Amino acid sequence: MLRIFDLCYLYVNFITHLLTIELKPLSILLLMLVSFAVRSQGELDALLATTADGASRKVQAKEQLKKFVEPLTTSGLSEQKLLRKTFRRLHSTLLKKYEAYSDFDEIFTTGRYDCLTATALFSQVLNQLNFSYKIIETNYHIFLLVQTANGEVLLETTDRFGGFVTDKETIAQRTSDYKNALTVDNSRRFFYRYSFNLYQNLSPEKLTGLLYFNQAVKAYNRHEWLSSAILLQKANAVYVSPRCEALGSILVKTVLEGSLEEKAKSDCLVHLKNFWIKKSETVASN
């Protein structure tokens, strides 16, 4: 069994507005803050939309994030101290129990989280606190590198006790370890082994694609082939990733070689069109 892991218009209007009228510096700053806030809300909506119940929890999630972030914006702490406080408070308030393949909206209801959903939450909070950061994606892991005036900080979002790393040598060692451990342990029978190696920066909006991907995997493991195909299509529309290609190839094979009725097969393959075409091209080239 497989175990895998509209805001441009507003921005353009804002820039055009600045080019056509004169604004005082404070007014420009306020407009920029509003623009960032709108963008952040849009990203949160997209993250929540990756689950069936997420859309109905938008108000709850936004209220919880607002309640969490507001006291931090007036703390007066240095960047690194503010980041440390943020890390600790997230784990003491919202991130309560690690559970693999948790849904993003579960953070705001049960407190359950995993590596991906916790990283997505951190990205939202870091955006609202105006931190500069990188999201690093590897084959089986994802973590954050945050820039502060006192240096870079590595955040392991699932390690509440040792996941805040400031020492340069330790950060270098950990990132080196991640690069050298891109394959899964062969003894772990229920994990799919990828044929590619990933170690790359990931833009925040692509986290939505990874969340859809995990939903597609969960549906596959439940033998819900059509649901898996639909979710994988959504994932690939947001983030064209080699992991989508891998699951797409497996799902196409499962559908074609399985005992599904012809209509059920056809329904699945409609959503797997990109992967089916690519698979056909690969076979033809061989």
Read off the pLDDT of residues 241-267 as tens digits, 9 standing for 90 and up: 999 999 999 999 999 999 999 999 999
- Amino acid found at 116: L
Q: In terms of domains, do 169 and 108 share one?
A: yes
Residue 150 lies in a domain: yes
Full-model pTM: 0.80
- Mean pLDDT, to the nearest integer, of 84-109? 96
Q: What is the DSSP string of the chain?
A: -------HHHHHHHHHHHHHS---HHHHHHHHHHHHHHHHHHHHHHHHTTSTTGGGGHHHHHHHHHHHHHHHHTS---HHHHHHHHHHHHHHHT--EE-TT--GGGGGTT-EE-HHHHHHHHHHHHHHTT-EEEEEEESS-EEEEEEETTEEEEE-TT-TTT-EE--HHHHHHHHHHHHH--S--TT-TTSPPPSS--EEEE-TTHHHHHHHHHHHHHHHHTT-HHHHHHHHHHHHHH---HHHHHHHHHHHHHHHHS---HHHHHHHHHHTHHHHHHHHHHHHH-
- Mean pLDDT, to the nearest integer, of 205-216? 96
Q: pLDDT at position 160, please?
A: 94
Residue 200 lies in a domain: no
Q: In terms of domains, do 217 and 156 share one?
A: no
When mean pLDDT is compared across 32-41, 75-84, 112-121, 215-224, the lowest value belongs to 32-41
State the average pLDDT for the chain: 83
More confident residue, 5 or 277: 277
- Amino acid found at 133: Y
Q: In terms of domains, do 150 and 267 share one?
A: no
- pLDDT over 50 at 172, yes or no: yes
Q: In terms of domains, do 268 and 175 share one?
A: no
Q: In terms of domains, do 221 and 274 share one?
A: yes
Confidence of residue 194 (pLDDT cuts 50, 70, 90): low
Q: Are 127 and 36 in contact (CB under 8 A)?
A: yes
Q: pLDDT at position 276, please?
A: 73
Residue 199 lies in a domain: no
Residue 204 lies in a domain: no
Calpha distance 25→12 (Å, rounded): 19
Total domains, the chain: 2
Q: Which domain holds residue 257?
A: 211-285
State the CB neighbour count (10 A cutoff) for residue 214: 24
Q: In terms of domains, do 143 and 222 share one?
A: no
Q: Are strands 142-148 and 151-155 parallel, antiparallel or unpaired?
A: antiparallel
Q: In terms of domains, do 170 and 239 share one?
A: no
Residue 81 lies in a domain: yes
Residue 59 lies in a domain: yes
Residue 190 lies in a domain: no
Q: In terms of domains, do 248 and 156 share one?
A: no
